[in-house]
Structures are given as structure tokens and as C-alpha cells.
Amino acid sequence: MKSPAKIARELDWVHNKFGIRDFLFWAESSTLKPDWTLAVCDAIMASGLKIRFVVNSRPDQVNLELLKKLKQAGCWMIGYGLESGSEEMLKLMGKKLSLSDNRNAVRWAKEAGLLVTGHFVLGFPGETKASAQETIKFALDQPVDFAQFYCAVPFPGSKLYAQAKKAGWITTDDWSKFEQNFCILNTPELSAEELSKLRLEAYRKFYYSVRKLVNFWKVAWRLGGIRNLRSLSREFSGWMQQ
């Protein structure tokens, strides 16, 4: 992990050389070490940089103080690996998270003035239509601004791959399909085709709900105005028709 001072210098260099003021801290979790995260925020503010940035985090690695400091430093959105809206699925995934952790993280982020993206995984072994619906309902009920619904992927080397390979659940040997936008597992509870339909249902229910849709357009307008709004609308509508 780089020192907070070095990170601030790099941000300043990119900002001054290329005129970039929007950044994504690309990490599985930018809050793994909260003290370090706070120090990064302090370094950014001390440098006088006027930038905006987005971070990712586990829900159980944040608190209100940390989220408020991120907001002060220029963070405008945080992405959480909420994973599921089912307590049972969280246990089966081995996430060591609870729905209470998820709810608190979202609530604190909103109190701090941050937008929230929720990342969810569907189709892990043990997933049923009922548990998938729990996840969809959780995403709709929580004040999450954006949602990503992924498919569980049996990446080689993972426990899931060994389990799926032994059970004969993997539907393809095309490695280009081993990514989170493709459903390639036929589990005893759900076929890959059924999961694909559930995933599309999740997106439609989330982004076509009146409350989420209104919020989505408000955010898009605030971030980029009419041009960005039209572009997002075209891309999203085209994807949803696939």
C-alpha cells in the first residue's frame, strides 16, 4: 500500500497534467485498513486538491466517521459488496456478513451524503428462486442508488470451481464466458437459463421501479446534464432489450 502522501502527489500530477478531476480507486476494498483510508483523505485535503472520486468497500469495514471523512475529501459514491439479500446465502457464500451489516453501511453512507452502488451475486450454490427474490427485494427496499447483479462464476483455482467441476455443473469450456455477466452454472436449485432470467428480472425491477428510475435520472442529470442523460438512456434501454 502506497503512502497517503504519495497517493496525493500522484492524484495532483494526473490532475495537473491531464486535467482529470474524477477518479476511481480501483481496489476490492479501499477501506480494508480504516486508519490508512483516513490518512489518505487527510492527505488529499491537505494538498488542496479539488477532485471527486469513488471507492469500493466491504459493508463491515465502514463507520459513519470514516464515510463522512471520505465525503469531505471528495468522495461522492461508494460501492458495497452487499452480495445478497438472504441471510442464508450470505452464510453459504462464506462472506461473514449479515443483512444488518449491509443495512448499516448503506444507511451511514446516505447520512454522510454519498451515493451508493450495491453489488449483488446471484446463482451461488444453494441459491433458489425464493432467495434470489429476497435479494431483489433487498435492493429495492434499501436506499441504493445503483445496483449491479452478477452471476456466480466458478473461476479456476476457487473452491467454487472445484465443487462445480466435480458435480458437473459448468455448462461451457469457453473461457470468455467465465465472467460475471454470463450464467454458466447449472446447480441443483437453478439452471443457467433460469438464473439468466432472474438476473434480467432483477435489473428490470430495480431500474424500472418508479422510485429508482426517478432517482437514477436525477443522479444522471446532476453528474452530466442533458447530454449524459440521453447517452445513459440509450445505452440502458438497448441493454434491457437484449
List, in order, residues 6 or more apart from 21 with CB less than 8 Å away: 15, 50, 51, 52
The b/e string for 18-37 (b: 16+ C-beta within 10 A; e otherwise) is eeeeebebeeebbbeeeebb
pLDDT for position 235: 59
Per cent of the chain over pLDDT 70 is: 92
List, in order, residues 6 or more apart from 238 with CB less than 8 Å away: none
Greatest Cα pair distance, the chain, in angstroms, is: 56
Q: Which three cell numbers stand for residue 214?
A: 426517478
Q: Which of 230 and 59 is assigned the larger pLDDT?
A: 59
pLDDT for position 176: 95
- The number of CA neighbours under 13 Å toward the Cβ of 216 is 18
Q: Which three cell numbers stand for residue 124?
A: 451461488
**Can you tell me the distance from the alpha carbon of 18 to that of 30, in angstroms, rounded to the nearest whole number?**
24
Instruction: Please give the average per-residue pLDDT across 117-146, as a whole number.
Output: 97
Domains of the chain: 4-207 (3.20.20.70)
pLDDT for position 28: 84
pTM value surpassing 0.85:
yes
